[in-house]
Amino acid sequence: MPAEQRSALDAEDALPDELPPELAARLQKRGGTATIYDIAELAGVNPSTVSRALSKPGRISAKTEKRIRAAAERLEFRFNPMARALPTGRTHTLALVVADITNPMFFGIVRGAEQAASAAGYTLIITESQESGANEAEAISRVLPSVDGLVLATTRLDDERISEIAARKPLVAINRDIGGVASVLPEIEAGVTDLLEHLVGHGHRTVSYLSGPENSWISRRRWEILLDVAERLDVGLVEIGPNPPTIEGGRAAWRRVIAARPTAVIAFNDLMAIGVIQSAAAAGVSVPGSLSVAGFDDIFGSELIVPALTTVRAQLVLAGQLAVEKLLGQIDDDADVAVDEPLATKLIVRESTAEARSGPWSTG
């Protein structure tokens, strides 16, 4: 076909430069929200043709589909997930349930999960349990009918309840190992072992572990590994807890730290470790001169506190990304619910740990 004829046909297929007055008026009245009927009017086709073009590409001619998509883009049309769910049973929406949205540990998980969801054309909604199993169960009940699957980040529910939810909707747990439920886990044993060996290598013979919430699976698992490693290395170890996984939780544990008289403290997370460092400073106890302090996660701010915090870094962004990818695999019926290889952790040594003190334990 000559170039002149192709140009003439392209001109015929082009959308008008200005929207029809009646269409423009309707859009303005609705705040700019377009429907498939508006697209049909602009493209000069039936609404049913628009629906087929946008929901089932390839079912109509390429020429018509191109014109419809151009009209949809011109009108800034977006599918309503609830309307899409009517014929397909899917909302293209996922839920990420976190224990405490103010904890910087979740920032990376949220970012990784959002990136993976967005890349797949899904919307991610976030709900918070405020470290409460009851709140978490209620939040899940609210969102369950409206989402295609859930990611539970550091869930506080018991195994039976999680398994019940997984039987109803695709589900992936982060930092929780439950038989038959897909999960994303860090390399817990390596991280815990590296940290305790680091402290013992600096002469520490009495170590306290500030455990996290009572219903935290990963806190219990870390304690079990610490017990094994402490026994192998022949060092004293005491558990202090359970504790809220917050800065205030670390501060509140300070009196029990004093009573235990350790030379080093391993906190459940960086927030608690920061709380211990703050309490030590207020009590006149030098960190790391009289007491070494370490945590887990390597959150934003762990290197900004004075002294900068020794911690076990977790791959939080990757954890969120993999959790959503595994969830989408379940939704598409090609998921392997077996636990993948754990994500590698890394010991980050900073100024909050040093050689064990030689002088008496004092608080001022």
The 3-class secondary structure across 43-58, one letter per residue, is HCCCHHHHHHHHHCCC
Q: Let me know: does 273 contact 257? Beta carbons within 8 Å.
A: no
For residues 105 and 126, membership in a common domain is answered with yes
Virtual torsion, Cα 264, 270, 274, 277, nearest 10 deg: 10
For residues 179 and 249, membership in a common domain is answered with no
Would you say residue 342 lies in a domain?
A: no
For residues 168 and 194, membership in a common domain is answered with no
DSSP assignment letter at 341: P
Dihedral sign of CA atoms 70, 75, 81, 87 in order: negative
For residues 23 and 108, membership in a common domain is answered with no
Would you say residue 352 lies in a domain?
A: no
For residues 151 and 209, membership in a common domain is answered with no
The H or E element spanning position 264 is strand 264-267
Would you say residue 358 lies in a domain?
A: no
Strands 310-313, 346-348: pairing is antiparallel
Complete edge-to-edge strand list for the sheet that includes strand 292-297: 236-240, 206-210, 264-267, 292-297, 310-313, 346-348
For residues 140 and 220, membership in a common domain is answered with no
Distance between CA 60 and CA 181 in Å, rounded? 41
- Could you report the per-residue pLDDT of 122-154, keeping only the tens digit for each? 999 999 988 888 899 999 988 988 899 999 998
Domain that holds residue 148: 91-185+317-331
Would you say residue 211 lies in a domain?
A: yes
Would you say residue 339 lies in a domain?
A: no
Q: Which residues of the chain have pLDDT under 50?
A: 1-9, 11, 86, 335-339
Q: Domain ends where: 78, 110, 143?
A: 78
For residues 296 and 214, membership in a common domain is answered with yes
For residues 226 and 295, membership in a common domain is answered with yes
- Could you report the per-residue pLDDT of 235-247, keeping only the tens digit for each? 999 999 999 999 9
Would you say residue 25 lies in a domain?
A: yes
User: For the chain, how many structural domains are there in total?
Assistant: 3
For residues 173 and 268, membership in a common domain is answered with no
Crossing angle of helices 188-201 and 217-233, rounded to 10°: 40
Tell which residue, 289, 308, 314, has the closest CA to residue 202: 289
For residues 289 and 321, membership in a common domain is answered with no
Q: Which residue carries 């919307």 as its tokens? A: 123
CATH code for position 268: 3.40.50.2300
Would you say residue 142 lies in a domain?
A: yes
Question: What pLDDT, on a 0 to 100 scale, did the predictor assign at position 133?
Answer: 86
Q: Let me know: does 222 contact 245? Beta carbons within 8 Å.
A: no
For residues 176 and 324, membership in a common domain is answered with yes
For residues 129 and 49, membership in a common domain is answered with no
Question: What pLDDT, on a 0 to 100 scale, did the predictor assign at position 73?
Answer: 87
Would you say residue 145 lies in a domain?
A: yes
CATH code for position 15: 1.10.260.40
Q: Domain ends where: 36, 57, 78?
A: 78
